[in-house]
Amino acid sequence: MAEQETLTGLVIALGGRIYALHEGTIVQLGERTNLVHALCVHEGRLYDAGRTMRVVDTLSGERVAERDHWILALCSHEGRLYDAGSTNRIFDTVGGAEVGKREDAIQALCSQEGRLYDAGDYCRVYDTLAEESVAVREDWILALCSHEGRLYDAGAGGEIYETLTSTLVARREEAVLALASAGGRLYDAGEERRVYDTLAGTVLGEREEPVAVLCPHQGGLYDGGTQGWLFESITNRNVLAGRKAITAACSVPPDLFATLLARGEQVPQPSWGRLTDWFAG
């Protein structure tokens, strides 16, 4: 089996379907009636959320929260799970309490150095629980990332900032849709259809469509987007091809991943059995 097919421990969402990738096999974990925008491991469980307006325990299929509009972000922070989205509100997911309210859609949540941060179409980054604005931008903020003890933000204007000092660290020609910290380096991707090593300014690879998802996993980095293809970013190898857009991805610890695999349903694959030849309907 080729090296790229030994991938294990990664969970992705293609449209409304959630899959685990394991050593050349694909296991379906669940299916939602609309797009999944967020996957998050919290306290030994995997949760998913999106346009169904629900937060779901992926393993059991149990609904743990319901909102009145799309959920765009999930975040595990200091022993609690939080969700936010186009409700313009941030919730303690399990407890149900509203912990923040903004004037527009919330696109990102991030836990950093003991604090929870949020950002979105309101062009600000907030220290969420303190209800304090810590940065102001000229355009929508679409991504937040904790990297090497610092918080970074990026968005529709193409600028990437070290958030708390508002230091501009990189600029792209089009919107930045995703940030990720992996192996001691910061990465970004977006409408330019490229994956960048952010601080070095180098291009890891070019894609045919915008890249909306970056996911650190087992010391590496994976990217995907509207083209439905999943790449191992640093080596620039395609590891899966799907018909639906990749809308979320999450690295899952071994114990939880084993439980997910045991409950899921293996997806039939072509006789040649390569992930790169597989297409979800």
Average pLDDT taken over every residue of the chain: 94
| pLDDT digit string, tens, across residues 53-69 | 999 999 999 999 999 99
- Give Cβ neighbours of residue 204 (< 8 Å, ≥ 6 apart): 187, 194, 195, 196, 197, 233, 234, 236
* pLDDT > 50? residue 193: yes
Q: Using pLDDT thresholds of 50, 70 and 90, give the confidence band for residue 281.
A: low
Q: What are phi and psi of 257, to 5 degrees?
A: -60, -40
Residue 229: beta bridge partners? 241
| pLDDT digit string, tens, across residues 99-153 | 999 999 999 999 999 999 999 999 999 999 999 999 999 999 999 999 999 999 9
Q: Report the C-alpha gap between 34 and 213 in whole angstroms.
A: 18
Better-predicted residue by pLDDT, 273 or 31 = 31
Better-predicted residue by pLDDT, 274 or 271 = 274
240 token code pair: 């899966």
Contact 278, 26 (CB under 8 A): yes
- How high is the pLDDT of residue 6? 66
- How high is the pLDDT of residue 7? 85
- How high is the pLDDT of residue 3? 38
Contact 259, 251 (CB under 8 A): no
221 token code pair: 């980095």
190 token code pair: 């977006």
- Give Cβ neighbours of residue 112 (< 8 Å, ≥ 6 apart): 146, 151
- How high is the pLDDT of residue 271? 59
Exposure string for 61-80, b = 16+ CB within 10 A, e = fewer: eeebbebeebbbbbbbbeeb
* pLDDT > 80? residue 4: no
State in words which class domain 3-264 has. Answer: mainly beta
* pLDDT > 90? residue 277: no
For the chain, what is the radius of gyration of the CA atoms? 18
Q: Give alpha helix (H) positions in the chain.
A: 254-263
* pLDDT > 70? residue 257: yes
Scan for tokens 């987007």, then name that residue.
225
Q: What are phi and psi of 222, to 5 degrees?
A: -125, 145
